[in-house]
Amino acid sequence: MNSSQTDFDVNRGRALLSRPVVNKGTAFTEEERKALGLEGLLPATVDTIGVQLKRVLGQLAAKPDDLERYIYLQDLCDRNQTLFYATLASDPARFVPIVYDPTIADACLTYGHIYRRPQGMYLTKEMKGRFAQVLRNWPVKDIRFICVSSGGRILGLGDIGANGAPIPIGKLQLYTGCAGVPPEALLPIHFDIGTTNAKLRSDPLYSGLRSEPPVPDEIDALVDEFMEAANEVFPGVCVHFEDWKGDDAIRLLARYKQRYLVYNDDIQGTASVVIAGLVTAMEIKGEKLARQRILFAGAGSAGIGIANMIAEEMVKEGLSREEANARISLFDVKGLIQAKRSDLNPSQQVYAHDLPPTGDLAQAVEEVKPTILIGVSTVGGLFTEQVIKTIARHTDRPIIFPLSNPTNKAECTAEQAYRWTDGKALVACGVQFPDVEFNGKIFKPGQANNFYIFPAVGLAVYATKPKRIDDAMFIAAAHGSASQVSQSDRKEGMLFPRQDHILQTELNTAAHVATSIFDRGLATVERPANIRTWIESLTFKPVYADRG
| C-alpha closest to that of 246 among 150, 342, 326, 311 | 150
Measured between alpha carbons, how far is 65 from 54 in angstroms, rounded to an integer? Answer: 19
Question: What SS3 state is found at 122?
Answer: strand
pLDDT class for 5, splitting at 50, 70, 90? very low
- Whether the pLDDT of residue 453 is over 90: the answer is yes
407-446 burial: b if 16+ Cβ within 10 Å, else e? bebbbbbbbbbbbbbeeebbbbbbbbbeebeeeeeebbbb
Angle at 10 between CA 8 and CA 11, to 5 degrees: 70
Cβ pair 375, 401 in contact under 8 A: yes
DSSP class of residue 164 equals G
Measured from the Cβ of residue 359, the count of other Cβ atoms closer than 10 Å reads: 12
pLDDT class for 405, splitting at 50, 70, 90? confident
The beta strand positions in 1-138, using DSSP E, are: 121-124
Cβ pair 95, 87 in contact under 8 A: yes
Measured between alpha carbons, how far is 322 from 258 in angstroms, rounded to an integer? Answer: 24
pLDDT class for 1, splitting at 50, 70, 90? very low
484-506 burial: b if 16+ Cβ within 10 Å, else e? bbeeebeeebbbbbbbeebbebb
| C-alpha closest to that of 494 among 283, 179, 268 | 283
Measured between alpha carbons, how far is 68 from 90 in angstroms, rounded to an integer? Answer: 19
Please determine, looking at this structure, whether the domain spanning 103-256 carries the CATH number 3.40.50.10380: yes
Query: What residue spans of 163-269 are helical by DSSP H?
Result: 166-179, 198-201, 216-233, 246-256
- Whether the pLDDT of residue 27 is over 80: the answer is yes
- Whether the pLDDT of residue 365 is over 80: the answer is yes
| Per-residue confidence (pLDDT) for residue 4, from 0 to 100 | 45
| C-alpha closest to that of 330 among 311, 310, 349, 309 | 349
Q: Are strands 436-438 and 441-443 parallel, antiparallel or unpaired?
A: antiparallel
Element (DSSP H or E) covering residue 387: helix 385-392
* Number of helical (H) and strand (E) elements in the chain, helices listed first: 26, 14
Cβ pair 463, 514 in contact under 8 A: yes
| C-alpha closest to that of 269 among 288, 298, 243, 290 | 243
Q: What is the CA radius of gyration of the chain?
A: 24
Q: Is 100 noted as a catalytic residue in this protein?
A: yes
Measured between alpha carbons, how far is 492 from 279 in angstroms, rounded to an integer? Answer: 16
Q: Is 171 noted as a catalytic residue in this protein?
A: yes
Burial class (CB in 10 A: 0-12, 13-18, 19+), 450: buried
Which residue intervals of the chain bear CATH 1.20.1370.30? 1-47
Architecture label for domain 268-451? 3-Layer(aba) Sandwich (3.40)
Integer CA distances (angstroms), 207 to 75, 150, 176, 197, 293, in order: 19, 13, 27, 13, 45
Question: What SS3 state is found at 7?
Answer: helix
Measured from the Cβ of residue 139, the count of other Cβ atoms closer than 10 Å reads: 5
Give me the phi and psi of 479, to 5 degrees please: -70, -35
| Per-residue confidence (pLDDT) for residue 548, from 0 to 100 | 57
- Whether the pLDDT of residue 155 is over 80: the answer is no
Query: What residue spans of 18-64 are helical by DSSP H?
Result: 30-35, 49-61
| Per-residue confidence (pLDDT) for residue 388, from 0 to 100 | 97
pLDDT class for 233, splitting at 50, 70, 90? very high
pLDDT digits (tens, 9 = 90+) for 299-358: 988 899 999 999 999 999 999 999 999 999 999 999 999 999 999 989 999 999 999 999
Measured between alpha carbons, how far is 464 from 522 in angstroms, rounded to an integer? Answer: 8
Of 171, 245, 409, 444, the active-site residue reads 171
pLDDT digits (tens, 9 = 90+) for 83-129: 999 999 999 989 998 999 889 989 999 998 988 888 999 999 999 99
Cβ pair 329, 339 in contact under 8 A: no
Architecture label for domain 1-47? Up-down Bundle (1.20)
The beta strand positions in 435-478, using DSSP E, are: 436-438, 441-443, 446-447
| Per-residue confidence (pLDDT) for residue 3, from 0 to 100 | 44
- Whether the pLDDT of residue 278 is over 90: the answer is yes
Cis amide prior to 406 (ω within 30 degrees): yes
Question: What SS3 state is found at 222?
Answer: helix
The letter for the amino acid at 436 is V
DSSP class of residue 353 equals B
Give me the phi and psi of 112, to 5 degrees please: -65, -20
| Per-residue confidence (pLDDT) for residue 469, from 0 to 100 | 97
Of 24, 70, 85, 100, the active-site residue reads 100
- Whether the pLDDT of residue 8 is over 80: the answer is no
Mean pLDDT of 4-15: 70
In the predicted model, what is the mean pLDDT of the chain? 93
Which residue intervals of the chain bear CATH 3.40.50.10380? 103-256
Mean pLDDT of 181-194: 97
Cβ pair 362, 384 in contact under 8 A: yes
Mean pLDDT of 287-294: 97
